[in-house]
Amino acid sequence: MYDGDLNFIFRNPTKILFGKGSAGEVLEEVNALKGKKVLLVTDKFLEKSEMVEKVKKALSGKFAGMFSDIEPDTGTHIVDRGADYARSIGADCIVTVGGGSSIDTAKGIAVVLALGGRIGDHSGVNFLTGPITPHVVIPTTAGTGSEVTYAAVIKDHEKHRKLIYADNYIIPNVGILDPTMTVSMPPRVTAGTGMDAMSHCIEALHSQQANPITDGLALQGIRLIVGHLPKAVDNGKDLLARGQMQIAANVAGVAFGNAQVGVVHALAHSVGGRFGVPHGIANSILLPYCMEYNLDVVADKYRLAAQAMGVDVKGLSDEDAAHKAAEALWSFTGRIGMPQKLREVGVREEGLRQVAEDAISDGSIVYNSKPIFDPEETLKILKRAF
Ligand SMILES: [Fe+2]
């Protein structure tokens, strides 16, 4: 698994507040960041909700304006519009109430607001020239872990590609995990975002950049997801399950924020870019197939995943235990009502080759445990998952 040459850097700079009602403490966090005028970023569904009202009220005189023009897969045009608005109200701090798309939009706005230009000028890995606008995140889903990660995915709708923004400056300053903020998530979104977190855990485990700290976080994430995601899907008002899923998504975010993701995300980004499949659902379908693909090089890690899922692997070889982990995931995604094949979610067979080629140039693939350079390899996985 690891040898005496192991060396790594581990980073986890985000302050986390957890607990029922913790969203009401947002003003203290804004004050600590020396924010004077807050831009509240949220989406159209939440804009008039009790949750957003609560945060607005808590911000009191520091609330300067709201940007809610968010779409499910955020785009460069949306970020630029948000940044123009933020500038027009003189915002110097951002508070986001929302899911992955709102958080990624806000990360983009924070970049443009501090560094100027348009968001398209800043894409890439470690391209930012300095700190960005302070950012407090209050997630309303439990999956992306975006409150602790250094990345944002923003779609260039003209080119049908997802652009990756990856830089330590993007990591939000504060994440407020208030379980009451996630109760309105419908079952399918709960399941999809929860499986995004599960794929973060598995991808952190099988990454070339994994280390013993990220392994520990990832395995704890898997345990929490297996124990609590079905309950959160069955009863959205189960605050214990909701809170444990927020913690799962958070530890998964810290794990993959340090270890990176791999072929599952490379394919999910590409399938999302070409066919609009929601990120969590794409990951959920692709994850076990990608595990089967990686299995010969990381069976020992998948054995740990199987154990964390509660599978009895005693007496089995690492390889057999790893197959059991993939099988356990298929039955788990079935239990929570997730689709199992790409054909069920609008992907067309004739588009698979293009998706396979897109995935090869996706930044996530370079960290996959098994190096992949040939689109025939990604096509093999896609055909099995189709
Ligand atoms: Fe993800």
Residue 273: the pLDDT is 86
Q: Residue 71 above 90 pLDDT?
A: no
Q: What is the pLDDT of residue 226?
A: 98
In terms of Cβ atoms closer than 10 Å to its own Cβ (0-12, 13-18, 19+), residue 361 is exposed
| Å from CA of 193 to ligand 1 middle | 8
Looking at residues 4-14, what average pLDDT do you find?
95
12: confidence class by pLDDT, cuts 50, 70, 90: very high
Domains of the chain with bracketed CATH: 15-181 (3.40.50.1970), 185-385 (1.20.1090.10)
In 116-211, alpha helices (H) = 187-206
- Helix H or strand E segment including 312: none
Pair of tokens at residue 73: 């897969």
Tokens of 314: 């005693």
Q: Stretch 240-265: mean pLDDT, rounded?
A: 97
Ligand 1 mean position to 196 CA, how many Å?
A: 5
Ligand 1 centroid–CA 67 distance in Å is 24
DSSP string, 274-300: HH---HHHHHHHHHHHHHHHHHHHHHH
How far does residue 5's CA lie from ligand 1's centre (Å)? 30
Beta bridge partners of 152: 165
Ligand 1 center from residue 213 Cα (angstroms): 19
32-52: average pLDDT: 96
pLDDT at position 159, please?
A: 81
Average pLDDT, integer, range 147-152: 94
Res 161: pLDDT: 77
Q: 23 alpha carbon to ligand 1 midpoint, in Å?
A: 24
Ligand 1 center from residue 199 Cα (angstroms)? 7
Residue 129 CA to ligand 1 centre (angstroms): 25
DSSP 125-147: ES---S----EEEEESSSS--TT
Query: For residues 300 and 217, is the Cβ–Cβ distance under 8 A?
Result: no
Amino acid 247: pLDDT: 98
Amino acid identity, position 28: E
What distance in Å separates the CA atoms of residue 38 and residue 106, rounded to the nearest whole number? 12
Percent of the chain with pLDDT over 90: 93
**250-259 confidence digits (pLDDT tens):** 999 999 999 9
For residue 47, the CA-to-ligand 1 centroid distance in Å is 24
Q: How far is the CA of 36 from the centre of ligand 1 (A)?
A: 32
Q: Is the pLDDT of residue 215 over 90?
A: yes
Return the number of other C-beta atoms located less than 10 Å from residue 80's C-beta: 17
Q: Give residue 89 CA to ligand 1 midpoint distance, Å.
A: 32
Q: How far is the CA of 125 from the centre of ligand 1 (A)?
A: 17
CA of residue 272 to ligand 1 center, whole Å? 11
With a CB cutoff of 8 Å and minimum separation 6, the contacts of 14 are: 147, 148, 171, 172, 173, 174, 175
CA of 264 to the centre of ligand 1 (A): 9
When pLDDT is averaged across residues 352-380 and rounded to a whole number, the result is 96
Cα(72)–Cα(39) distance, integer angstroms: 20
Ligand 1 center from residue 87 Cα (angstroms)? 30
Ligand 1 center–CA 269 separation, angstroms: 9
**Considering the chain, what is the average pLDDT of its residues?**
96
Cβ distance 94 to 133 under 8 Å?
yes
pLDDT above 90 for 346? yes
The arithmetic mean of pLDDT across residues 259-282, rounded, is 94
